[in-house]
Amino acid sequence: MNNAGLNEILKWSIENSDASRTEDAAQQPRSQLNPELLAQLMGGPSDADRMNEAMAAIYHPEVDLENKLIAWDNFEQLVENLDNANNMETLGLWMPLIGKLDDEEKEVRNMALWCLGTAVQNNIKCQERALAIGAIPRVAKLSHQDPDHGVRKKATRVLSSTSRNYQPALDETVKHLPSEITGNEKYDAGDMESVDKLIQALRDYNAKAAQSTNA
């Protein structure tokens, strides 16, 4: 464990010791011990370890679909944490994640989209990374071409999250959607009504497709 981690643990320990529990100290905000540091202190796996283990299970040929979906669920819970989501690049997990957008199992495509959507939501660093690695064209294709309408809905939500407050991602999204959806509109990523208009047009397009399928 590095010195910064040891100092954080020491500070937390002092603040929570009996000697520090004066009336003035009780009114002061206390440090929160980083769960990952605590796991290291107790000898358990870090969040980074768990993320790597989940992705390894997802790709392991001998792990059945049920357990792969459990691994996906674990991964999604981990990337709900902003630091963990931002750590995906360091861990080399972005490409394995979007690689599963093309999986033959609709459940796997759906889970990959779920994790991607969680990572990019209100997270400019992950929005930038999703754009840089070419995730948006693949998600846009799924949003209106996937044979499973549940996957289309999940992909639509991902596009909504990648586009908000990040104009380059919104422009890339518009570029890879049919003109029947986008029209001749100019969409503004900083205007939530503008983004909502595009996303609703995509939903309407898919609703019509579903009706045609069921007719």
| Alpha carbon 53 to chain centroid, angstroms | 17
Give the amino acid at 140.
A
pLDDT band for 212, please (50, 70, 90 cuts): confident
What sections of 121-191 are H helices per DSSP?
Answer: 124-132, 135-145, 149-163, 167-175, 179-182
Q: Cα-Cα-Cα-Cα dihedral of 185, 129, 149, 180, to 10°?
A: 20
CA separation for the pair 148, 156 (Å, rounded): 13
Question: Which pLDDT tens digit goes with each residue over 121-167?
Answer: 999 999 999 999 999 999 999 999 999 999 999 999 999 999 999 99
pLDDT at 18 over 60: no
Q: What's the pLDDT at 44? A: 73
pTM: 0.79
Q: Is 60 left (phi over 0), alpha (psi -120 to 50) or beta?
A: beta
